[in-house]
């Protein structure tokens, strides 16, 4: 079960990084879409980003055009990095490494999920302890 926190008025969840990975596999990617929307909504509620639905559409249907999912993941990684910076987390997520993991995931398994969720968890915990 995910731990729920309130960070700067935003309801966020501490999720198991590997739980996200395995749920995405077991549900054939359906959970990935739900997770992607939810993390972008949490980031928006925290004051970073604007539309989680736009991110989701770019990452899913936008794949028909090829470029939008890569732009969306790059922007989401940037939002995670910004959340970590605001929370005072040293060594924020690397957008470059995250994009490389996404490219691997595009062809194989969603290996970027544990990386992204672990960094989100760090940001949420740090923001909670600094409040």
**pLDDT tens digits for range 106-119:** 888 899 999 999 99
Which phi-psi region, left, alpha or beta, contains residue 28 (left: φ > 0; alpha: ψ -120 to 50)? left
Query: Counting Cβ atoms within 10 Å, is residue 90 exposed (0-12), middle (13-18) or buried (19+)?
Result: exposed
pLDDT above 80: residue 131:
no
Q: Residue ranges per domain, the chain?
A: 32-130
pLDDT over 70, % of the chain: 98
């Amino acid at each position: 079960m995910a731990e729920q926190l309130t960070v700067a008025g935003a309801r966020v969840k501490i999720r198991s990084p590997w739980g996200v990975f395995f749920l995405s596999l077991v549900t054939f990617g359906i959970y990935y879409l739900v997770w992607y929307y939810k993390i972008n909504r949490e980031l928006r509620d925290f004051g970073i980003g604007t539309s989680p639905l736009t991110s989701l559409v770019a990452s899913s249907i936008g794949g028909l055009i090829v470029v939008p999912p890569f732009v969306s993941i790059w922007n989401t990684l940037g939002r995670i990095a910004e959340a970590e910076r605001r929370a005072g987390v040293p060594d924020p997520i690397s957008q470059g490494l995250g994009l490389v993991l996404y490219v691997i995931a595009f062809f194989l398994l969603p290996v970027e999920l544990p990386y992204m969720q672990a960094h989100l968890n760090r940001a949420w915990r740090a923001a909670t302890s600094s409040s």
